[in-house]
Homo-oligomer: A and B are copies of this chain.
Amino acid sequence: MGASEALIVPNDIDAALSDPRVLWTEDILRFADTDALGHINNTTFSVLCESGRVHLLASRINPTLPAGVFFVIARLAIDFRAELHYPGAARTGTWITRIGRSSLAVAQMILSGGQLAATSEAVCVLMDSTTRRPAPLPDQARRAAEALLRAPEA
């Protein structure tokens, strides 16, 4: 399943866990996350991805932004690799894979019980709240993003 398929090899989890450029968030799975198939519904994976993305942006990038701009998500792709089950928890690792003129691409891995449950890729675009058009990343935001940059081949 494309680039992300090639990205994860057995020792990638250990590498991500020890890489300071990967930010980790923890989520606790809820009974309300289950579905009629008895496992955690696939839409919860997108909730976990969002927790990780919002944490990265809110803690590292947004504090550098001027007023009047904000990030929106333009694309999200999730590769589902294992079921998640209730009760349980999940950890989501998020890092930046590409810094564009107005966008940041991020990659993520979701772990549960030491196992890889999913990988994902997302593109976040900086928007001007007045014009509702993409805004160029300010230099300070670009520098903050570079500190978390970890290319797919890293």
Contacts and interface: CB of A to CB of B under 8 A. Distances in A.
Given A1-B123, A75-B79, A80-B74, A30 B55 contact: no
A102 interface: no
A43 interface: yes
Interface stretch (A45-53, A133-141, A142-150): A45-53
A32 B55 contact: no
Given A27-B28, A31-B51, A36 B86 contact: yes
B41 A32 contact: yes
A43 B42 contact: no
Nearest to A5: B75
A141 B54 CA distance: 38
Give chain A's interface residue range (CB within 8 Å of chain B). 35 or more
Contacts of A51: 28, 30-32
Contacts of A1: 74-75, 123
A43 B50 contact: yes
A73 interface: yes
Give the one of A42, A50, A51 with max B CB within 10 A. Answer: A42
Interface of A: 1, 26-28, 30-32, 34-39, 41-43, 46-47, 50-51, 54-55, 58, 70, 72-80, 86-87, 123
